[in-house]
Amino acid sequence: MKDIDIGDVSKTTGLTPATLRFYEKKGLIVSSGRNGLRRLFDPSVLQTLSLIMLGQKAGFSLDEIREFAASGGKTKFPTETLLKKADEIDQLVRQLSALRDGLRHVVECQAPTHTECPRFNRIMKVALARTNKGATTRIRKGKSIR
């Protein structure tokens, strides 16, 4: 397959060339050559970048993702770790689902403040169920694939 220019990778992923260089320095991706100065990448880098972006959404740090994604999924992580992370994501999914419902409810609710609305409170209670006692996840702004 023909290697693709960093500019094309940038365009299809929405990540800037600077970010791609940063990822390469971090060991998350590898360039397969150069055209003059310009980096070239094997098309499979797109799949790797997809995994990276998805991993970020799930709360993995770039260092963690490197272990998983750089190897094409041939991860060194023990089964236990993977299942624990899956459960953590499962929990997050349930909380976010409740929050989504809460937000939609807020739109049509007539209570003076939402903390006074019994339905909102019920929803939030579900969202905040303390089913995991370890670390959970917070989210930051990011990019989606274009």
Partner DNA sequence: CTACTACTTGAAGTCAACTTTAGGTCAAGC
Partner DNA sequence: GCTTGACCTAAAGTTGACTTCAAGTAGTAG
Binding site for a copy of itself (CB under 8 A): 44, 47, 50-51, 53-59, 61, 71-75, 79, 82-83, 85-86, 89-90, 92-93, 95-97, 99-100, 103-104, 106-107, 112-117, 120, 124, 127-128, 130, 132-146
Neighbours of 132 (CB within 10 A): 14
- Residue that the structure tokens 């089913």 belong to: 131
- The C-alpha R_g of the chain, in whole angstroms, comes to 20
From the list a copy of itself, DNA, none, partner contacted by residue 136 (C-beta under 5 to 8 A by kind): a copy of itself
Q: Is 25 exposed, middle or buried (0-12, 13-18, 19+ CB in 10 A)?
A: exposed
CB of 59 to DNA, least distance (A): 9
User: What amino acid is encoded at 36 in this protein?
Assistant: G
CB of 119 to a copy of itself, least distance (A): 12
Q: How far is CA 60 from CA 3, 53, 94, in A?
A: 28, 10, 18
From the list DNA, a copy of itself, none, partner contacted by residue 139 (C-beta under 5 to 8 A by kind): a copy of itself
Of residues 44 and 116, the one with the C-beta less far from DNA? 44
Of residues 16 and 44, the one with the C-beta less far from a copy of itself? 44
From the list DNA, a copy of itself, none, partner contacted by residue 122 (C-beta under 5 to 8 A by kind): none
From the list DNA, a copy of itself, none, partner contacted by residue 75 (C-beta under 5 to 8 A by kind): a copy of itself
Side by side, the strands of the sheet bearing 38-41 are: 4-5, 38-41, 33-35
Dihedral Cα 58, 71, 19, 93, nearest 10 deg: -10
